[in-house]
Structure 1
């Protein structure tokens, strides 16, 4: 996670202590129904594109901006699915920073002619996953909880990763 100037200013006062932050997360689907998963530079497990909502920005603007910054995708059909928060949405980063997110979750599509590319700063890897294979991916607990709460993830047994971010058959 690359913190915004706002979060850096807060961290100057609270150190690594818990912050409650608003964020926006995208469930980006392509025409085939596969879901975009991302691997952040500072985490080993898979996640979803998204990030903190900036001062003066709406949640919808934030999710569109975050997806574009992280993956180069211009998403469309952006629709609010739910808002989540509480202890199941806490993250402790490698830096020691502790965050509890209240997140607006959006479903969106990318155009058929677009392929995502990781920004190389926040994200180091991307892959498309069929919904029925989500349980095969090792995900950060925040994302596991989110997908389970949405009924998209019934089994959290972990993943055997194959080449280029695709899951191998079990």
Structure 2
């Protein structure tokens, strides 16, 4: 996040940088702060991750790989179980697909 960013503004910018897509934020899925979600990077940096997950829709752009992505594609919800992902990512997707009345706060 840049010092001049809002959280939604950061999400819009990051999606554009990492996928080539222009998005419009339409809501908040939730906040996720699982203390088990620790990532050790190859340069030795270790971080405990947190996530603010927004609901959004694509409004333009073209899907394109970036330095931060190796594969991009849209998948049907029925395909999600077969994809390898961290349990915290799976939880965020589950909550987004449930279309909850309010955001998850955890």
The DSSP-based 3-state class of the residue aligned with 2:11 is: helix
Which moved further from structure 2: 128-137 or 77-86? 77-86
For structure 1, list consecutive stretches of 5 or more residues without a partner in the other structure.
1-52, 153-170
Alpha-carbon distance between aligned partners in 2 of 1:73 and 1:100, rounded to the nearest angstrom: 28
Equivalent pairs, count: 95
For structure 2, list consecutive stretches of 5 or more residues without a partner in the other structure.
96-106
Which runs of structure 1 show a deviation greater than 3 angstroms over 4 or more consecutive aligned residues?
none
Give how far 1:150 is off.
5.2
Alpha-carbon distance between aligned partners in 2 of 1:149 and 1:117, rounded to the nearest angstrom: 23
1:87 has 2:35 as partner: yes
Decide whether aligned partners of structure 1 residues 129 and 91 sit closer, same or farther in structure 2, where only a CA change above 3 A counts.
same
What TM-score, normalized to structure 1? 0.49
Alpha-carbon distance between aligned partners in 1 of 2:92 and 2:63, rounded to the nearest angstrom: 26
Alpha-carbon distance between aligned partners in 1 of 2:52 and 2:25, rounded to the nearest angstrom: 15
What TM-score, normalized to structure 2? 0.74
Pairwise mapping of residues 52-63 of structure 1 onto structure 2 (< 5 A)? 53-63=1-11
Higher relative contact order at CA 8 Å, sep ≥6: structure 1 or structure 2? 2
Pairwise mapping of residues 128-143 of structure 1 onto structure 2 (< 5 A)? 128-139=74-85, 141=86
Give how far 1:96 is off.
2.5
Partner of 2:14: 66
Structure number with greater Rg is 1
